């Protein structure tokens, strides 16, 4: 049975929904294959993803489909394994952040760092399993640091590829960094949280005022995200929102997709 309504959301779902509700339906609700437009892509969350019709394979990543050979994925994995001490595989794209990686590798040895932390929250902002029935928001955090004194927690999101200034991408850094901090603070494991994007190729660290939150700000931002997620969670129609982005959309008419645009 094809679902007609979302039961959980994530940053990538909100992003896609804001751009075009119809696209978010094809991609995140129907899991429609973007190669044959017939089958459903099954798997994911760490398991291989394949189309049930044409067997095309997709990279398992939360809400994002990229080719298996994607360089960014390899670097992402290498960063994770370097910090955890699992391997010393190195790419030249990591040179700009060597000092940052070494710092977190040290903290990881101290037991204060979690990597690829999967955070499931209910609609009351209580912790739940990532795949539990009552999961309402899923966040996957590349790195979280919980200091032993329950002081300020730190979230890091690794970004590979082109660095875009905050002006270029308007409020989307604010959104992401704020939501990571809201998620972590909701766990009540720290009194404050600050979130950062690190552009690994450039060694560029991005922070935003909205990413730096204390428990006093928490209820305000939880409410903000409840309102923000409401249209996506209640939508059953998923209208198209045609625009420049149709050129890059896997489900567009031009690419043989089911969309009228
Ligand atoms: Zn297919």
- Tracing tokens 């875009």 back to the chain, one arrives at 164
pTM (2 decimals)? 0.86
Cα 85 from Cα 139, distance rounded (Å): 24
CA 142–ligand 1 middle distance (angstroms):
30
CA 42–ligand 1 middle distance (angstroms):
10
CA 57–ligand 1 middle distance (angstroms):
9
CA 184–ligand 1 middle distance (angstroms):
37
CA 192–ligand 1 middle distance (angstroms):
45
CA 130–ligand 1 middle distance (angstroms):
27
Query: Residue 34: CA atoms inside 13 Å, Cβ hemisphere, count?
Result: 21
**Structure tokens, 114:** 């979690």
Cα 256 from Cα 37, distance rounded (Å): 8
Burial class from Cβ neighbours inside 10 Å (0-12, 13-18, 19+) for residue 84 reads: middle
Is residue 155 within a helix (H) or strand (E), and if so which, with residue range?
A: strand 152-159
> Cβ distance 182 to 218 under 8 Å?
yes
CA 147–ligand 1 middle distance (angstroms):
45
Residues surrounding ion ligand 1 at CB below 5 Å: 33, 35-36, 39, 51, 53-54, 56
Alpha helix stretches (DSSP H) within 26-118: 71-84, 98-109
pLDDT tens, position by position, for the chain (261 residues)? 567 899 999 988 998 899 999 999 999 999 999 999 999 998 866 677 889 999 888 765 544 444 434 778 888 899 999 999 999 899 988 999 999 999 999 999 999 999 999 999 999 999 999 999 999 999 999 999 999 888 899 999 998 877 777 666 667 788 889 999 999 999 988 999 999 999 998 998 999 999 999 999 999 999 999 999 999 999 999 999 999 989 989 999 999 999 999
CA 32–ligand 1 middle distance (angstroms):
8
């Amino acid at each position: 049975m094809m679902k007609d309504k979302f039961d959980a959301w994530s940053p990538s779902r909100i992003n896609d929904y804001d751009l075009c509700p119809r696209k978010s339906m094809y991609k995140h609700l129907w899991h429609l294959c973007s190669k044959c437009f017939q089958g459903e892509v099954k798997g994911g969350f760490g398991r291989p993803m394949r189309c049930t019709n044409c067997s095309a394979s997709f990279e398992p990543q939360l809400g994002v489909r990229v080719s298996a050979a994607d360089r960014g994925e390899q670097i992402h994995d290498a960063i994770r394994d370097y910090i955890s001490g699992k391997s010393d595989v190195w790419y030249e794209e990591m040179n700009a952040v060597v000092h940052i990686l070494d710092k977190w590798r040290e903290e990881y040895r101290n037991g204060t760092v979690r990597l690829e932390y999967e955070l499931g929250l209910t609609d009351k902002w209580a912790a739940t399993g990532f795949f539990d029935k009552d999961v309402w928001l899923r966040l996957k955090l590349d790195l979280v640091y919980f200091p032993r004194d329950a002081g300020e927690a730190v979230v890091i999101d690794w970004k590979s590829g082109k660095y875009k200034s905050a002006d270029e991408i308007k409020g989307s850094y604010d959104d992401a960094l704020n939501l990571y901090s809201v998620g972590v603070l909701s766990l009540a494991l720290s009194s404050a949280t600050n979130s950062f994007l690190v552009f690994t190729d450039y060694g560029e660290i991005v922070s935003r005022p909205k990413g730096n939150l204390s428990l006093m700000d928490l209820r305000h931002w939880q409410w903000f995200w409840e309102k923000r997620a409401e249209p996506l969670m209640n939508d059953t129609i998923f209208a198209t929102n045609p625009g420049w982005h149709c050129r890059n959309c896997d489900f567009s008419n031009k690419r043989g997709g089911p969309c009228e645009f």
